[in-house]
Amino acid sequence: MSEQIQPEQTEKTDQNEAPASFEDVYAVSTELVRTVEAALEDNDDAALREVLKPLRPADMADLVVVLGRENRNRLAVVLGNDLAIDTLVDLEGSVLADLLAVMSPHAVARAIPELDTDEAVHLLEEMNDARREQVLAQVPAPDRAAVLEGLSFPEDSAGRLMQRDLIAVPAYWSVGQVIDYCRDTDELPDEFYEIFVIDPRHRPIGQVALNRLMRTRRPVLLREIMEAEATTIPVDMDQEEVAFLFQQYRLTSAPVVDAVGRLVGVITFDDAAAVLEEEAEEDLMRLSGVSSETDLLDTALRTTRTRASWLLLNLGTAILASLVIAMFEATIEQIVALAILMPIVASMGGNAGTQTLTVAVRALATRELTAANSMRIVGKEIVVGALNGLLFALLVGLVAAWWFDAPTLGIVIAVAMVINMVVAGLAGTLIPLGLNRAGIDPAVAATVFLTAVTDVVGFFVFLALAALFLL
């Protein structure tokens, strides 16, 4: 029997010690933020550098976001060239733009060759044209050409997302040749997961995962072990569609091809995951009419301007609902209870519609809701609206009848609630489907339209039924 070797125990090890909490592991604590702010206020650059020295780039990025604009700009000036470029890569929007504005063009240019093409493009696209030209003028010619090509592709396209550094070899190479090539060449990507196999016209015809390459004997040819049905991505494909393909087919990396099918780059799973997170955040923000671009960190004036446009549109729909109420002014004057009960009908319809709308928008983004199954989903939501309408109509109708000692009033509000909740289920699916078909992002405008429909229908049906049966 072989003897099991136990790991050495030191005097500092306590086997009964509880695992570290999140606060113990995560570096950006409240105490750290206050220490950094105090050092910045006291202009104590030495203390600032000392307290920031242990931070990893991702933690430094989180710290920068938490700091106010003045402090983060001051921090960038103090650190200068010592501000890790990996920290900038983890930032976006107005925060990244602020830091790049106070950094010297030379400092940014010096870091460009160290980055993947997509990361360099991410930094440069946040600069104005004049400053971008200053930076690119100091970047070595080969790196400058790669970055300029990346910037030439449409925003949010695969071309902006891809990396230019990859390994592409012919199908007649053996496993041994590939391994020797990877060991001998100095121009390898920093990280790669697959070898791409190309034909004489530089078009991808397959790919080989590194784990399969390493398990295969040296004399075996790549054409014998490559996966021939690889997913290729057009260079102009929208990044949201790219992320969907990665999620759908569990891709590790995928080749990007130009209009004639030539291999021009590669997208990796970490880039696709970042897009998924960005798109999910964007949809969530837009459903509330909030800018997806770091709304929390923008200036008060910019945030006010962004939100005001949506509030103005919402004001228009609210006025429309008020005009419906005004049509039944005489009815409300005779039966004051209607004014008390009206918000219940509209509110229940709005909330039910929002539930349906949220599910529909997400399903459209993940391709779970398509033209093929749309009618089935619409039918299901109508049924759900009717069942919930009946359930809560019974409850609210009984309460209204008892409260105002008017059974007919209870029946009126019950019927109105059923109708409005059915309409809410219908609108919650048809509105995003219609906007999507029209080429409009449902997350942007669907909520305003839904609110208008449920308010107008709710008020009109309730007051019309009341005028018909109670007067």
- What pLDDT score does 285 carry? 66
Assess if residue 100 is contained within a domain: yes
If asked whether residues 465 and 394 sit together in one domain, one would say yes
Q: How far is CA 312 from CA 127, 269, 289, in A?
A: 31, 40, 11
- What pLDDT score does 85 carry? 77
Could you tell me which residues come within 8 angstroms of residue 245 by beta carbon, excluding any fewer than 6 positions away? 231, 233, 251, 254, 272
Residue with token string 């909490």: 21
Assess if residue 206 is contained within a domain: yes
Which of the four pLDDT bands, split at 50, 70 and 90, describes residue 51? confident
- What pLDDT score does 15 carry? 47
If asked whether residues 304 and 176 sit together in one domain, one would say no
pLDDT digits (tens, 9 = 90+) for 373-401: 889 989 999 999 999 999 999 999 999 99
Domain end call among 216, 247, 269: 269
* Backbone CA torsion sign across 36, 39, 43, 45: negative
If asked whether residues 322 and 258 sit together in one domain, one would say no
If asked whether residues 319 and 452 sit together in one domain, one would say yes
If asked whether residues 334 and 418 sit together in one domain, one would say yes
Percent of the chain with pLDDT over 70: 89
If asked whether residues 114 and 260 sit together in one domain, one would say no
pLDDT digits (tens, 9 = 90+) for 450-470: 988 999 999 999 999 999 998
In this predicted structure, the answer to whether residue 145 has a pLDDT above a threshold of 70 is yes
Structural domain count, the chain: 3
Domain at 71, CATH number:
1.25.60.10
- What pLDDT score does 454 carry? 92
Q: Which residue range(s) make up the domain with 369?
A: 299-469
- What pLDDT score does 92 carry? 80
pLDDT digits (tens, 9 = 90+) for 212-252: 999 999 999 999 999 988 889 999 999 989 998 998 888 99
CB 246 within 8 A of CB 272: yes
Amino acid making up residue 131: R
Distance CA 206, CA 442 (A): 37
Assess if residue 12 is contained within a domain: no
CB 174 within 8 A of CB 222: yes
Residue 240 has φ and ψ, to the nearest 5°, of: -65, -35
If asked whether residues 186 and 219 sit together in one domain, one would say yes
Assess if residue 282 is contained within a domain: no
Give the chain's end-to-end CA distance (angstroms, integer). Answer: 96
User: Model pTM?
Assistant: 0.68
3-class secondary structure, 80: helix
- What pLDDT score does 23 carry? 58
Per-residue pLDDT, averaged over 35-40, amounts to 89
If asked whether residues 310 and 441 sit together in one domain, one would say yes
If asked whether residues 449 and 306 sit together in one domain, one would say yes
Distance CA 189, CA 45 (A): 36
The more confident residue out of 204 and 442 is 204
Distance CA 153, CA 156 (A): 9
Beta bridge partners of 423: none
If asked whether residues 304 and 443 sit together in one domain, one would say yes
CB 150 within 8 A of CB 160: yes
Which of the four pLDDT bands, split at 50, 70 and 90, describes residue 66? confident
Percent of the chain with pLDDT over 90: 36
Cβ count within 10 A of residue 142? 10
3-class secondary structure, 21: coil
Beta bridge partners of 287: none
- What angle do the packed helices 269-287 and 337-365 form, to 10 degrees? 160
- 431: nearest Cα among 376, 368, 354, 326: 354
Quick one: CA torsion of 289, 295, 300, 301, rounded to 10 degrees?
-60
Residue with token string 């009964």: 16
Distance CA 452, CA 322 (A): 11
If asked whether residues 80 and 149 sit together in one domain, one would say yes
Assess if residue 288 is contained within a domain: no
